[in-house]
Structure 1
Amino acid sequence: MTQEVEYVEVARAESERGELVLRERRPVEGGPTSLELRANGVFVMDTVEVSTERAMAHAALAVVEEPLAVLIGGLGLGFTMHEVLADSRVERCAVVEIEPALVEWMRTGVVPEGPALLADERVTVVEADIVAALQEAREASYDLVLLDVDNGPGYLVHAANAALYEPPALADARRVLGPGGALVVWSAAEAPQLEASLRSTFETVTTQRHDVQLQERDEQYWLYVAST
């Protein structure tokens, strides 16, 4: 039986990419509330089903012996960053987020866990397009690159994000990784073309399927792990 819920808008912002909305999901008959993030009306993520955001960090951290420097593309609601920072081996974590409003909501506590995460002295937040950030980053400047800026190549929130999954951007991600480094890409669906592009750029590529339940629906999310 589907639980009846109501939504209360918490914050809203407009940018050149459109509308960003954070809203609270409240069960009508009581129970835990949750936050949901939408971009131009498209579901991006919520604070209930975050297992794959966490798994993304764990998958990356498991394949690199010394993940001293980490680059995360996409701030989201901070769950991937939280898992990265929980690893004591990490000395530096750069987060690239294109939406200034999302950074502000995290910094000011609109997202409750945000202030503590951004206060970590290892964290640097850069408000930029991740594709441009990868182009400009120094060679071999990171041990891990984690990309979760969209719903994957098959379900783009913004058409311009398609460039992130194409060979030039993936080659830039490969270039900024040091020896033994790894790239992990999150996708809301299986992405064979992405896998093929990764295999043409990296020495080793593995895929992970994760079965999840999203707001009472069975879904499958995918992680693509590419190693140098």
Structure 2
Amino acid sequence: MDGQPLARALTHEGEIALRRRGAVIELIVNGVFAMDSAEVTSELALADAAGPRPGVVAVGGLGLGYTVARLLANGARAVHVVELARPLIDWALAGVTEQLERVAHEPRVRLHHGDIAEWLPRRDEVFDAILLDVDNGPGFLIHDRNARVYAADWLAAATQRLAPGGVLAIWSQGPAPELAATLAALGPVTEELVPVEREGRHFDYALYLLSTPPTAG
């Protein structure tokens, strides 16, 4: 593996690793590039989808911490981060990268080791926003089990955990028409394309936003 290894661990879901390439931190999952610190436009856009006053937010996927940091900067009252890979939480608490350390030790952040697909339905409280960045999107899964969070029944249940006027936002590595159609059956959906440049190549990442009515009923 190219670059300087910072941390590496085997989990029940496969291998997860952090590495440094120059000034850039990369997150690798099962040998697949997941994200890096060089281009975080879409991670910030995902946080901004929660609105200018985020309130209480649930985030599926810690990543390198950029979405969480943006939510905090935007004034979120509390951020619950659900991360499947326990080592990534441990590395954040240990300060393997400065960004992960900052968010891990922020009093408004709660780190939960678990699968968002199972964690969210068990919660009794409601959230002002639920942000999902658990995989590369329904068309390019790193973990097959993550297909559950794009299924109609799970998404319908997730909307029940939203406060009135709440937002469900899902990150995808590209346009996902089937996901858009599934969400459209639950309410009005907005697709936001986020253009990025990576190593001279152009990509359009996608965000899918579903909002609940401002008042119950």
- Confirm or deny that 1:80 pairs with 2:67: yes
Identity %: 41
Cα distance in 1 for residues equivalent to 2:4 and 2:107: 33
TM-score normalised by length of structure 1: 0.89
Q: Is the CA contact (8 Å cut-off) linking 1:71 and 1:94 kept in structure 2?
A: yes
Which amino acid in the other structure matches residue 16 of structure 1?
A: H
- Name the counterpart of 2:116: 130
- Confirm or deny that 1:61 pairs with 2:51: yes
Q: Is the CA contact (8 Å cut-off) linking 2:189 and 2:208 kept in structure 1?
A: yes
- Name the counterpart of 1:177: 162
- Name the counterpart of 2:3: 7
Which amino acid in the other structure matches residue 129 of structure 1?
A: D
Aligned match for 2:98, one of 94, 112, 118: 112
Q: Is the CA contact (8 Å cut-off) linking 1:60 and 1:225 kept in structure 2?
A: no
Cα distance in 2 for residues equivalent to 1:175 and 1:151: 24
Aligned length: 211
- Name the counterpart of 2:127: 142
Which ranges of 4 or more aligned residues in structure 1 deviate by more than 3 Å?
A: none
Which amino acid in the other structure matches residue 140 of structure 2?
A: Y
- Name the counterpart of 2:25: 35
Which amino acid in the other structure matches residue 32 of structure 2?
A: V
Q: Is the CA contact (8 Å cut-off) linking 2:49 and 2:167 kept in structure 1?
A: no
Q: Which runs of 5+ in 2 are unaligned?
A: 213-217
Shift of 1:78: 0.3
Shift of 1:188: 0.2
Largest Rg, 1 or 2: 1
Cα distance in 2 for residues equivalent to 1:129 and 1:215: 32
Which amino acid in the other structure matches residue 36 of structure 1?
A: E
- Name the counterpart of 1:25: 21
- Name the counterpart of 1:213: 197
